[in-house]
Amino acid sequence: MLFLLRRILFYLAAFIAAATINFFLPRLMPGDPVALMFSSAGSELPPESLEALKLTFGFVDGPLWEQYLTYLSSIFTGDLGVSVKYFPLPVTDLLGRALLWTVGLVGTATLISFALGSFLGMVAAWRRGSRLDVVVSVSAIFATSIPAVVTSLVALFVFGFTLGWFPTGYAHDPALDPSFSLAFFASVAHHAILPLVTLCFVLTGGFTVTMRNNMINLLGQDYVVMARAKGLSDRRVMVWYAARNALLPTVSSLAIALGTVLGGSLVTEVVFNYPGLGNTLYQAILARDYPVIQGQLLVMTAAMLVSNFLVDVSYVLLDPRLKGSG
């Protein structure tokens, strides 16, 4: 398990790197960083709260490294400051609430599009050159090359406003209070369909192309030819010999794709007015609520690192060559 341990250390370093960017950015900008970061609050912020905020973000009297350590220690103790716009709501509370919706949306969309994309890529590669392959590959290119913001807006226009099939905003009917009732869950599902389908549309094409390419590169391998020579059924050869091996590089590309996934979800949430991280961030950007903007980078990075770690674990489970040697 040395492999996984090394990955964890690496992710820790990456997280600190993101925090370091947060730390230096306001200090690199011209002018007074404290004034810049909390300017949007105007005079509404009580002096003692401003002092607390300055401490959280490392604006203490002392050399730079001391400021840096102060900032790091507040992050690792879970203190991301308070929102300037929604004062006195702590950033962690604000983002925590939003994170739940984003994880639900992004997690579901990623799983669906990964499964669907890998399947389509497998079939297209297995029958490459056929009409099916041409249709699948060309649609995949088109789907991946259209920006998420465009897909979202068009989907909202067509299915939300013109056809009126789906609601045009929020995660559930605002008249319903969150509860464990069928009506509430039905409302959540109804509100999630459009953003979910849009995200899947944005993401599936990429997985399809990756899987198709990986698979085509594997079809000439001796073990695939030998499987055919063994007289096994087409399906057995396609799934257990070709696709099962092509899945390994596809899974590792999933780790890189997660960045795109998060980016796509940000935009989709804004367009559908979905109360996840993206929308929270959008409101924060409009208000220049810097503690929230900085906090979301850390939360997003953490989410990305955790998902990367999950990908690493599944890679180890999928590849027997990594299991034994460690």
Partner 1 sequence: MGQLLIGLRRNRKALVGLAIVLLIVLVAVAAPLLTEYNPAGRTGRPHQPPSAEHILGTTRLGQDVWARLIYGAQTSLAVGFAAGLLITVVGTTLGIIAGYRGGKTDEVISFLTNMVLVVPNLPLLLVIASFVGQAGPMVIALILGLTSWAWGARVTRAETLSVKQRDFVKAAEMMGEPQWRIMAFEIFPNVFSIVGINFIGSVIFAVITEATLEFLGLGDPNVISWGTMLYNAQKASALSVGAWWDILAPCLALALLGIGLSLLNFAVDEIANPRLRTGGRLARWSSLIRSGEGRL
Partner 2 sequence: MSDALLSVRNLTIDYIGAETDFRAVDDVSFDVAPGEVFGLAGESGCGKSTIAFAVSRLHGPPALIRKGSEIRLAGRDVLGLDKRALADFRWREVAMVFQSAMNSLNPVLRIEEQFYDVLRTHTGCTRKEARDRTAEMLTLVDIRPERMRDYPHQFSGGMRQRIVIAICMALDPKLVVMDEPTTALDVVVQREILQRIDELRRQRGFSVLFITHDLGLMVQFCDRIGVMLSGRMVEQGPSEAIFRTPRHDYTKRLWASFPSLKGGVLG
Q: Which does 321 bind (CB under 5 to 8 A by kind): partner 2, partner 1, none?
A: partner 2
SS3 82: strand
Orientation of helix 277-286 relative to helix 244-271, angle to 10°: 40
The alpha-carbon radius of gyration of the chain (Å, integer) is 24
Neighbours of 265 (CB within 10 A): 29
Q: Which of 31, 42, 78, 129 binds partner 2 (CB under 8 A)?
A: 129
Q: Which does 236 bind (CB under 5 to 8 A by kind): partner 1, partner 2, none?
A: partner 2
* 113 vs 245, beta carbon nearer partner 2: 245
Site string for partner 2, 205-234 (x = CB under 8 A): ----------------xxx-xxxxxxxxx-
The pair of three-digit structure tokens given for residue 324, joined into one six-digit string: 């034994």
By the rule CB under 8 A, 235 interacts with partner 2: no
Please, are residues 318 and 251 in contact by the beta-carbon 8 Å criterion? yes
Which of 47-55, 65-73, 136-144, 315-323 is the region at the interface with partner 1 (rule: CB under 8 A)? Answer: 136-144
DSSP count for the chain of H helices, then E strands: 14, 0
Minimum Å distance from CB 319 to partner 2?
Answer: 7
Neighbours of 293 (CB within 10 A): 18
Please, are residues 285 and 67 in contact by the beta-carbon 8 Å criterion? no
Which of 113-121, 179-187, 230-238, 259-267 is the region at the interface with partner 1 (rule: CB under 8 A)? Answer: 259-267
Please, are residues 269 and 277 in contact by the beta-carbon 8 Å criterion? yes
Task: Tell me, rounded to whole angstroms, the distance of Cα 238 from its chain centroid.
Answer: 31
Minimum Å distance from CB 133 to partner 2?
Answer: 12
Site string for partner 1, 216-235 (x = CB under 8 A): xx--x---------------
Beta bridge partners of 206: none
Q: Which does 269 bind (CB under 5 to 8 A by kind): partner 1, partner 2, none?
A: none
Q: Which does 240 bind (CB under 5 to 8 A by kind): partner 1, partner 2, none?
A: partner 2
Name the residue among 270, 316, 160, 136 with its Cα closest to residue 209. Answer: 136
> Under rule CB under 8 A, which residues in 238-267 are in contact with partner 2?
240-241, 244-245, 248
Please give the DSSP secondary-structure letter assigned to residue 262. H
> Under rule CB under 8 A, which residues in 262-321 are in contact with partner 1?
262-263, 266-267, 270-271, 281-282, 285-286, 288, 290, 293-294, 296-297, 300-301, 303-305, 308
Please, are residues 2 and 326 in contact by the beta-carbon 8 Å criterion? yes
Name the residue among 194, 200, 201 with its Cα closest to residue 168. Answer: 194
Name the residue among 99, 147, 70, 134 with its Cα closest to residue 280. Answer: 99
Q: Which amino acid is at 319?
A: D
Q: Which does 318 bind (CB under 5 to 8 A by kind): partner 2, partner 1, none?
A: partner 2
Q: Which residues bind partner 1 (CB under 8 A)?
A: 10-11, 13-14, 17-18, 21-22, 25-26, 29, 36, 128-129, 133-134, 137, 141-142, 144-150, 153-154, 156-157, 160-161, 168, 213, 216-217, 220, 255-256, 258-260, 262-263, 266-267, 270-271, 281-282, 285-286, 288, 290, 293-294, 296-297, 300-301, 303-305, 308
